[in-house]
Chains A and B, each alone.
Chain A
Amino acid sequence: MIDVTWIFVLALGFLALVGLLIYFSIYNNLIAKRNQVENIESSIDVTLTKRHDLIPNLIGAVRAYMQHESETLTAIVDLRNRAANHALDPAERMKLEDKLTSSLGKIMVSVEAYPELKASQNFLQLQASLNEIEEQISAARRAFNAAVTALNNAIEMFPSSLVASGMNLERRSVFEIASPAYRENVNVASSFGL
Chain B
Amino acid sequence: MYLKECDLDTLLAELEPLLLELEEKRIAALWPSLGLTALFCFGALGFILLVAVTPAFFLAGESPVMVDSIGLWQASIGVLVSSSALFVFLWRFFSKDYVHVFKQNVIQKMIASLVDGALFWPSGHIESVEFEQSLLFRDDFNRYEGDDLVEVMLDKTKVRFSELHVKKVTGSGKNKETIEIFDGLFFIADFNKNFDFQLSTSDFHGGERVELDNPAFNDLFDIYTTDTVQAFYVLSPSFIERLTLLAQKADFTFSLIQGQLYIAISMNKKLLEPTIFRSLLEFRVYEEYLDDLLLVFGIVEDLSLNTRIWGEKAS
A positions within 8 Å CB-CB of B: 36, 40, 43, 124-125, 127-129, 131-132, 135-136, 138-140, 142-143, 145-147, 150, 183-184
CB distance from A17 to the nearest CB of B (A): 29
CA distance A17 to B232 in the complex (A): 40
Q: Interface with A: B74-82, B134-142, B307-315, which one?
A: B307-315
CA distance A146 to B230 in the complex (A): 14
Q: Given A145-B213, A146-B212, A146-B213, is A140 in contact with B229 using a C-beta cutoff of 8 Å?
A: yes
CA distance A6 to B237 in the complex (A): 60
26 contacts between A and B (CB under 8 A): A40-B228, A124-B314, A125-B314, A127-B309, A128-B311, A128-B312, A128-B313, A129-B311, A131-B309, A131-B311, A132-B194, A135-B233, A138-B236, A139-B230, A139-B232, A139-B233, A139-B236, A140-B233, A142-B232, A143-B229, A143-B232, A145-B213, A146-B210, A146-B213, A147-B228, A183-B309
Chain A residue contacts of B311, Cβ below 8 A: 128-129, 131-132
Scan residues 203-250 of chain B and give those whose CB is less than 8 A from a CB of chain A: 210-213, 228-233, 236-238
CA distance A184 to B232 in the complex (A): 17
Chain A residue contacts of B211, Cβ below 8 A: 146, 150
Q: Are B229 and A139 in contact (CB under 8 A)?
A: yes
Q: Is the interface of A mostly helix, strand, loop or mixed?
A: helix
Q: Are B229 and A131 in contact (CB under 8 A)?
A: no
Chain B residue contacts of A183, Cβ below 8 A: 309
Q: Are B194 and A142 in contact (CB under 8 A)?
A: no
CB distance from A132 to the nearest CB of B (A): 4
Chain B interface size range: 20 to 34
Q: Are A131 and B212 in contact (CB under 8 A)?
A: no
CA distance A136 to B310 in the complex (A): 10
Q: Given A128-B309, A131-B309, A135-B233, is A143 in contact with B228 using a C-beta cutoff of 8 Å?
A: yes
Chain A residue contacts of B314, Cβ below 8 A: 124-125, 127-128, 131
Scan residues 177-195 of chain B and give those whose CB is less than 8 A from a CB of chain A: 193-194
* Count of CB-CB pairs between chains A and B under 8 Å: 56
Closest to A182 in B: B309
Chain B residue contacts of A150, Cβ below 8 A: 211
CB distance from A172 to the nearest CB of B (A): 16
Chain A residue contacts of B307, Cβ below 8 A: 184
Other than the known A128-B314, A136-B229, what 17 A-B pairs have Cβ atoms closer than 8 Å? A36-B228, A128-B309, A128-B312, A132-B194, A135-B233, A135-B236, A135-B310, A136-B233, A139-B229, A139-B230, A139-B236, A140-B229, A140-B233, A142-B237, A143-B231, A145-B213, A183-B309
Q: Are B310 and A142 in contact (CB under 8 A)?
A: no
B213 interface neighbour in A128, A132, A136, A142, Cβ under 8 Å: A142
CA distance A44 to B311 in the complex (A): 18
Q: Given A124-B314, A128-B311, A184-B238, is A43 in contact with B229 using a C-beta cutoff of 8 Å?
A: yes
Chain B residue contacts of A131, Cβ below 8 A: 309-311, 314
CA distance A10 to B154 in the complex (A): 71
CB distance from B25 to the nearest CB of A (A): 50
Chain B residue contacts of A184, Cβ below 8 A: 238, 307
CA distance A136 to B231 in the complex (A): 10
User: Top 8 A-B pairs ranked by shortest CB distance?
Assistant: A128-B314, A139-B233, A132-B311, A139-B232, A132-B310, A143-B232, A43-B229, A142-B232
Chain A residue contacts of B233, Cβ below 8 A: 135-136, 139-140
Closest to A183 in B: B309
Chain A residue contacts of B232, Cβ below 8 A: 139-140, 142-143, 146
B229 interface neighbour in A40, A124, A127, A129, Cβ under 8 Å: A40
CA distance A59 to B181 in the complex (A): 54
CA distance A142 to B210 in the complex (A): 12
Residue with the greatest number of chain B CB neighbours at <10 A, chosen from A136, A145, A150: A136
Closest to A137 in B: B233
